[in-house]
Amino acid sequence: MDLGIKGRTALVCASSKGLGRGCAEALAAEGVDLVLNARGNEALEATAASIRDVSDVAVTTIAADITSEAGQAAVLAAAGDVDILVTNAGGPPPGTWTDWDRDDFIAAFDANLLTPIAMIKALLPSMMARGWGRIVNITSVAVKAPIPVLGLSNTARSGLTGYVAGVARQVAGSGVTINNLLPGLHDTDRLAMLDQVDASARGISEAEAREARTATVPAGRFGTADEFGAACAWLCSDKAGFVIGQNILLDGGAFPGAM
């Protein structure tokens, strides 16, 4: 299927690795020019080079911390008036309720709530003026099924979900869609880190922690960044213009609800 976005431009935040990279690669495969961002320059340039090797899209990189005001300003200046925005940042650390103080919540809100809101607010006006835009936020299964050790993530991402539910409908008539993609367990560095923490807390090996986590997924495996990116590209496509304010779960069947 031709997704109808060849020649569009996309800013994909936090995209040198993992799910953000998967989204960037899938958009490039559809002929979308890219602005990629991450803090570490080496992986960012390696990802950009790998995308240039397999496609003829323009790839711009901007190394910056997307959760800081200065980082957001630098990324927005490099990106200009893009057609597609994918918001993303690293997730908060795991812990338990006694660990989390005000500063921890502020950091999580900055990264996973206020940063996507700032990026959306900055780029929506030009998308609306042009009558076309796609915004996809990478959130988490945690907004449907909160994960106890990820209380900071549960709290911040629930706030973003509420924000998007309202704003997506406020701007829907302008040709701009805003939706959330909710990853369940995907095979990335983030998941490997969570397996390490789990293994040391429970006195088991990382392989055992991974096996136990895999057993919670009816599909019997973790998701891949490629699969996640394909869903993102479809949500960013011309074909998905009637999908507004949705929360689309990619979790291999782990969430047990009917809807």
Q: Which residues bind ligand NAP (CB under 6 A)?
A: 14-20, 37-40, 43, 65-67, 88-91, 138, 140-141, 183, 185-186, 188-191
Give whichever of 24 and 168 is closer to ligand NAP, judged by the CB atom. Answer: 24
Give whichever of 2 and 226 is closer to ligand NAP, judged by the CB atom. Answer: 226
Of 248, 229, 142, 246, the residue nearest 185 (C-alpha): 142
Give whichever of 66 and 168 is closer to ligand NAP, judged by the CB atom. Answer: 66
> Which residues, other chains included, contact 17 with Cβ-Cβ below 8 Å and sequence gap of 6+?
38, 43, 47, 188, 189
DSSP string, 129-145: HHT-EEEEEE--GGGTS
Give whichever of 37 and 171 is closer to ligand NAP, judged by the CB atom. Answer: 37
Q: How far is the CB of 245 from ligand NAP (least distance, A)?
A: 19
Q: How far is the CB of 124 from ligand NAP (least distance, A)?
A: 21
> Which residues, other chains included, contact 122 with Cβ-Cβ below 8 Å and sequence gap of 6+?
72, 76
Q: How far is the CB of 232 from ligand NAP (least distance, A)?
A: 12
Q: How far is the CB of 81 from ligand NAP (least distance, A)?
A: 21
DSSP-derived 3-state class of residue 218: coil
Strand partners, 103: none
